[in-house]
Structures are given as C-alpha cells and as structure tokens.
Amino acid sequence: MAYATLDELKGWVGIPTADTGDDATLQLALDAASGQVDQFCDRTFTADGAPTVRVYSPQLGGALVVDPISSTTGLVVATDDNGDGSYETTWTLGTDYRLDPANAAVTGRPYTRLIALGTRWFPRNQYRPTVSVTALFGWPGAVPAQVKEAALIQAERLWKRKDAPFGVAGSVEFGSEMRLLAKLDPDVESLLRPFRRQWWVV
C-alpha cells in the first residue's frame, strides 16, 4: 500500500490533478518508494483488517520478540508445551504475560514484545516454533506524517530518475545538480530513522 495518494504526489511535483498523462509512472514511483520505506524500517505502516496467526521460536524464556501488533483486539497467545505441534495452552493477558512497550498504545506505537509474568516461561524447542500469536499485526492509527513525507520525497526522486539515465538530474552550470544514485534520499533516512525497527531494543 502506498503511503500517499497519487494526487498528493502530483501536487508535490507540481502536476495539476487533471493532467493524467504521467499517472502510471507516478503511481509506480509512489508504490516503489513506499516499498523502500518498508524495507528501510523493517516494518509496514498499515494494520491488518482481521486477526492473523503467526508462529515464533523464542530465544529467551521470559521475553518474545514478535511482529508489530497494532491492537489487543482478537489477540490470542498460545504455546506448544510438549513439542507436538499443537498449541494447546492459551495464555491470559495481564496474568500470564504483558505487552511491551508498556506505553505503546499511548504513544501510537505498536507492541513488539511479549513478556512472561509470574512463573510462566515461553517454551523452547529446536525443531519447531512453540508460540502461536493471533493478532491484528501492523501499525496502529494513521500513517505518521514523517512516513508520508519520506514516501513523497523518495517517489519524486524515483520518478525523476527516468530523465537522468546516468543518475544526475539538473544542471551543474546553474547549480541545480542532484545525484539520484543513492539508495535513499538523505532526508528520507533522517525522517525514517526514528521508525526503523531495531531488533535488539524493540
């Protein structure tokens, strides 16, 4: 899913909405730029429409890193305690485990870890995943403004690349030279860095 609309990109690059001649290439650039945002951040900024099931292999018994969870709606955590491939033990939120970061819902961020409580531990098995999580995965709420801005900047860069076969747009003579070969625009990286997923501190 693109993080800005075609009309927003057309306004960004100075093309009237009614001018549809470049719509296909603009949309392609916008889709590609949004994909680059996802790749750089190692996450998406949309939420699933319905709960889905994902399975995990814990590295530690007391904490489990999971894909970003946008809401507690439909959340079910279950474990395979004997390694038979059946997730027979359902855990209770608030009693058996909690979600982390604790203030994620207040700050508009997703939950990214499950923390075991009391005497519970996530079982480990070298042959198969032992934890099943049913959840609404993804990013809660609207796409952050920084992400939309980054997608527009990068989309413009990609769209202009077609007119710069050697990776340089503009003119050296008039001081408007712009190199387009970098993977991401530096401003895009700056905008996205706070949202980049760091697996060791999630």
- Contact present, 147 and 45 (Cβ < 8 Å): yes
Whole-model pTM?
0.78
Beta bridge partners of 164: none
Ranges of each domain in the chain: 6-45+143-195, 52-137
d(CA 22, CA 159): 10
pLDDT recorded at residue 202: 43
Q: State how far the alpha carbon of 111 is from the alpha carbons of 50, 102, 154, in Å.
A: 17, 8, 28
pLDDT recorded at residue 197: 83
Where does residue 77 rank: exposed (0-12), middle (13-18), buried (19+ CB within 10 A)? buried
Residue linked to tokens 């499950």: 114
pLDDT recorded at residue 201: 47
Give the pLDDT means over successive 10-residue stretches in the chain (202 positions). Answer: 94 94 95 95 92 95 94 97 95 97 93 94 94 96 94 94 61 50 81 83 45
Taking phi over 0 as left and psi of -120 to 50 as alpha, with beta for the rest, 162 belongs to alpha
Calculate helix-pair angle for 6-13, 145-160, nearest 10 degrees. 60
The 10s digit of each residue's pLDDT in 161-192 is 887 654 554 544 545 455 545 568 899 999 99
Give the strand pairing for 97-100 and 111-116: antiparallel
- Contact present, 141 and 150 (Cβ < 8 Å): no
d(CA 197, CA 180): 25
pLDDT recorded at residue 179: 54
